Homo-oligomer: A and B are copies of this chain.
Amino acid sequence: MLAIDETTITEAALAQMESTPDPRLKEIIAALVRHLHAFAREVDLTPEEWLNGIKFLTSVGQKCTEFRQEFILLSDTLGMSSLVNAMHDRRALEDGTKSSLLGPFYRQDSPTLPLGASIAGKGKQPDTVIYGSVVNTAGEGIPNASVEIWQPDDEGWYDLQKQDPSQMDLRGRFYTDSEGRFYLKSIAPTGYMIPMDGPVGDMIRAQRRHGYRPAHIHFVIGAPGYREVVTALYLSGDPHLDSDTVFGASESLVVSVNPHDDASPYPDLKSIRFDFQLAALAGEAESGRVGADPSQILQKAAH
């Protein structure tokens, strides 16, 4: 009989998982077991600390609802989502606009709106035009590309965080014109704290991190034949650009809010301009979406 002890347990666990028929699943779980055990050995984890970890992970799972994905937030705050994004970008055949985090506030059922429409909800006067082009790596405009946008309001709240999270606001889907251009009206977002009322918030406080994300606007850009990019634009001057709690902000994605812009389709409004560059689709069918609609995740998770 195998004597299982501190040194043999890892090999014993890997041996028992040898029967896994899917080679990729086998590779991933084997690597996970090795790294998880190496972590426990390195810190000489005690039963009490282990139990605290079990309780923490349980509470992260139990905090998830149709409108909230606390495990994505945990992954984001540990830098894991940002790493997965960066590796995804490296595997692309061509360089395009860098990915950024999808985050927990994406919804798949955003309304499709005509170019020039405002995504600011009723009562909010749009004061900013967001415009630019979707281009290929040769710089040529891509007609009819899909531009999904979502953002928090000028106090840092997304629609999903409001009293009635089923009411959509500050999000929409646009399609580029025949020259690849898009333009829409909105308000400039402010930075905000990640949701701090759950176990991830407890962790951030215990670490004395500020919990803020710099002001940003989310995008998913796609067109047939091109690699979908999930990204975000970050507003220059925000004090938390260098210390984003979820490690999403990146220099190539920083934009300015211009008080006056003669090139804008609405020169009377402030403007944010960015051209998104899409790489040709790689042969692989890998999905580019780091993160997803929380309600969809939970539906799938419940079988």
A residues sitting closer than 8 Å to B (CB atoms) are 1-6, 9-10, 12-13, 16-17, 19-22, 24-29, 31-51, 54-62, 64, 69, 71-72, 75, 78-88, 90-91, 199, 203, 206-209, 241-243, 245, 247, 249-251, 254, 286-292, 297-298, 300-302
User: What are 29 A-B pairs at a CB distance below 8 A?
Assistant: A4-B249, A9-B83, A9-B86, A13-B247, A16-B245, A17-B207, A17-B209, A20-B206, A20-B207, A24-B49, A28-B49, A35-B38, A35-B42, A40-B83, A41-B83, A44-B87, A46-B286, A47-B287, A48-B289, A51-B289, A54-B69, A54-B71, A55-B301, A57-B61, A58-B69, A59-B301, A61-B64, A61-B71, A62-B302
The answer to whether A291 touches B55 (Cβ under 8 A) is no
- How far, in angstroms, from A41 to B25 measured CA to CA in the complex? 15
Q: CB < 8 Å: which of B38, B40, B58, B209 contacts A87?
A: B40
The answer to whether residues A88 and B207 also contact, given A55-B301, A61-B58 and a CB cut-off of 8 A, is no
How many copies make up the complex?
Answer: 2
- How far, in angstroms, from A50 to B286 measured CA to CA in the complex? 12
- How far, in angstroms, from A79 to B203 measured CA to CA in the complex? 26
Residues of B within 8 A of A245 (CB): 16
Q: CB < 8 Å: which of B28, B44, B51 contacts A291?
A: B51
The answer to whether B58 touches A64 (Cβ under 8 A) is yes
Q: Is the interface of A mostly helix, strand, loop or mixed?
A: helix
Residues of B within 8 A of A91 (CB): 44
Residues of B within 8 A of A43 (CB): 27-28, 31
